[in-house]
Chain A
Amino acid sequence: MSGTVPIAAVSPKPQPADVRPKHLNESRGVRILLISIALIFVGLVVVLPMLTVIVQAFRKGWETYADAISDPDAISALRLTLTVALVAVPLNTLFGAAAAWAITKFTFRGKNLLITLIDLPFAVSPVISGMVYILLFGAQGLIGPWMMEHDYKVVFATPGIILATMFVTFPFVARELIPLMETQGVQDEEAAVSLGAKGWRVFFKVTLPNIKWGLLYGVILCNARAMGEFGAVSVVSGHIRGETNTLPLHIEILYNEYQYTASFAVASLLMLLAIITLVVKGIIEHKMATSRTH
């Protein structure tokens, strides 16, 4: 019924090879071959770039590294990045929950179109996602001149960066919740309503416990992307050092100033944030798996 697919496997049912009956499994040789190919592929595509970042970051030793990440500009970039994520992620989470509720608990016309539109930011080029806000709020934009007159600054200031980030991370939570809530149906909630529970209570007491891990996972992915977005933010940021530079932009600036080591050092900081994110995600998946069996 739903047009969306979960971005990630949220239900790691343990199904390891040694539990599978022998006749339903590949021979040991084939298994090792397949695992090796998969590992080499992931190694080449994902691990190698990460290794490069780390090696380059420490090329000139620990001291240069510490200098780079404690630079005032780097810290203000980190602060801006966190601010942006702090605003964009909760708003998108609220939207994701509302949209998932409407889409999965009710039937209505145009549902499929709505789902497609929610997915749209995934497929829109980041360049375009930044550009549309310039077209809207820029000095030559549609409502920009009016806003300029009243001294509301959107583009080339923090609100523009937040908006562009919200656009790019728009679908993450909704996309995670819709398939999950779809499979859970409406029985639980209906039972609660028939017992006299009201609106919010149904959501917080019945629905939320069922979806909390999926929700958290969506939030985490949304957050990771919000902190790492480059293309869209680059278009709407004024690139002013210490003012409107996010971490990814700060990395680019350092790279352009021949400070390759420093730029990779800051990049490793972002990578660390991503790794923390993924570790938290791993813990969540584990919890989900155990909460399922109990």
Chain B
Amino acid sequence: MKLKSSKRIVLFTVIALFVAVLSACGSNNNGKNASSSSSASASASASSSASPAGSASSEPSGTTAAEPKSIELLNVSYDPTRELYEAFNKSFVDYWKKETGQTVKINQSHGGSGAQARKVLDGLEADVVTLALAYDIDSLTESGLIKKDWQQSFESNSSPYTSTIVFLVRKGNPKGIKDWGDLVKDGIQVITPNPKTSGGARWNYLAAWGYAQQQDGNDEAKTKDFLKKLFANVPVLDTGARGSTTTFVERKIGDVLLAWENEAYLAKKEYGDEFEIVTPSLSILAEPPVAVVDKNADKRGTREVAEAYLKYLYTPEGQEIAAQNFYRPRLQEVADKYKDQFPTLNLLTIDKDFGGWTEAQKKHFADGGTFDEVYTKG
């Protein structure tokens, strides 16, 4: 009798372990199923039956189960595009359903642009990447994930929308900040993320560099001096653009936030009249690029929908959504409609003024680049 009970305990332990291992395998299968479209619906319905509120997808899971051809798409993107792609994905799902009758579920992943690119490089199976700068997508070409001439795949350098860097200041602009020159004055606190970890911050840095270069007549020593003064005024260097916005709006630190135009508008929308946007005399044309991750899309059989997804960004509907989320549309008719929202200003470009991203990255942001000099020397 006693022996029996101890055996029962052993049996119980074994079963418990078995269940544990099984559930691990099960979740492993979940991951795998995402790649094969036929079983994806099975896993979707299984997970929704596991929990009554498990229908995490934007459409009811009932249709997913009924539609055998349903497909999943993973869009790996950077931080400030959360709201944009939330709206865009909804629109695309409807569009795709109408065009092909197929149900597509779009998964989103957001994070710092560099970190996101690294994850894809390390094996995160993204079908499309929509990142902050071309350099991050370029880094994916070396291992053959994306073809070398990806920037020719879609119109306008594969950048369906653009943005620029503007200043966000507190209501009434109490410190009278008008242009880049004001940022280096004594007693001004500037908030920007770290260019080493944040794509947006690199645009900030290059815009400041470009301004200083014009002011100082291409005297590089003076330009570096300008940036040194600017960064001496930075009290908090967050790792990402969203972190900086939080520091500025929630913690109420700093007099001016260097931000993506869309991020500045979004903060203004979320927080009402507490802030004002100041457009400097000169800024930089930021072209957040998009690309199909060829290797993954071919492997998972999602190329068709992935390409359609990115092309949809260029359509009037896609451009409209971009504009509503404060990205500058490429399409003239949409741009005209929203022209009051986006003031015209002098814009530098990465290719013309900085010799492309590879060059800019090496000169400014790699180890021993100008950014390191600004911080370590003197």
Direct contact of A and B (CB under 8 A): yes
CB distance from B87 to the nearest CB of A (A): 13
CB distance from B79 to the nearest CB of A (A): 7
Instruction: Verify if B55 is at the interface (C-beta below 8 Å from A).
Output: yes
* Chain B residues positioned under 8 Å from A137 (CB to CB): 123
Query: What is the chain A residue whose CB lies nearest that of B17?
Result: A90
Contact across chains for A205 and B28 when beta carbons are under 8 A apart: no
Q: A residues 193-215 with Cβ under 8 Å of B?
A: 200-201, 204-205
* Chain A residues positioned under 8 Å from B27 (CB to CB): 83, 157-159
Contact across chains for B123 and A239 when beta carbons are under 8 A apart: no
Q: Cα distance A87–B123 when bound, in Å?
A: 23
Q: Cα distance A86–B31 when bound, in Å?
A: 18
Interface residue from B2, B3, B57, B119 paired with A238 (Cβ < 8 Å): B119
Contact across chains for B122 and A156 when beta carbons are under 8 A apart: yes
Size band of the B side of the interface?
A: 35 or more
Which residue of B20, B122, B250 has the most chain A CB atoms within 10 A of its CB atom? Answer: B122
Contact across chains for B107 and A243 when beta carbons are under 8 A apart: yes
Contact across chains for B16 and A240 when beta carbons are under 8 A apart: no
Binding site secondary structure of chain A: helix
Known: A76-B56, A158-B30. A134 touches B23 (CB 8 A): no
Contact across chains for A256 and B24 when beta carbons are under 8 A apart: no
Instruction: Verify if B51 is at the interface (C-beta below 8 Å from A).
Output: yes
Q: Among the listed stretches B108-116, B227-235, B365-373, which one makes contact with chain A, having 4 or more residues with CB under 8 Å of it?
A: B108-116
Q: Among the listed stretches A116-124, A147-155, A225-233, which one makes contact with chain B, having 4 or more residues with CB under 8 Å of it?
A: A147-155
Instruction: Verify if A72 is at the interface (C-beta below 8 Å from B).
Output: yes
Total residues of chain A contacting the partner, CB 8 A? 45
Contact across chains for A138 and B123 when beta carbons are under 8 A apart: yes
Interface residue from B17, B32, B51, B121 paired with A139 (Cβ < 8 Å): B121
* Chain B residues positioned under 8 Å from A256 (CB to CB): 79, 82, 110, 240, 242-243, 246
Interface residue from A70, A86, A159, A200 paired with B10 (Cβ < 8 Å): A200
Interface residue from A76, A140, A205 paired with B54 (Cβ < 8 Å): A76
Contact across chains for B119 and A156 when beta carbons are under 8 A apart: yes
Which residue of A141, A158, A205 has the most chain B CB atoms within 10 A of its CB atom? Answer: A158
Query: What is the chain A residue whose CB lies nearest that of B241?
Result: A256
Known: A159-B28, A241-B108. A79 touches B122 (CB 8 A): no
Starting from the known contacts A75-B56, A86-B20, 5 additional A-B residue pairs (CB-CB under 8 Å) come to A155-B124, A200-B6, A204-B6, A242-B56, A242-B107
A-B interface, 7 closest residue pairs, ranked by CB to CB distance from nearest: A158-B27, A242-B56, A138-B122, A139-B123, A157-B31, A156-B124, A153-B31
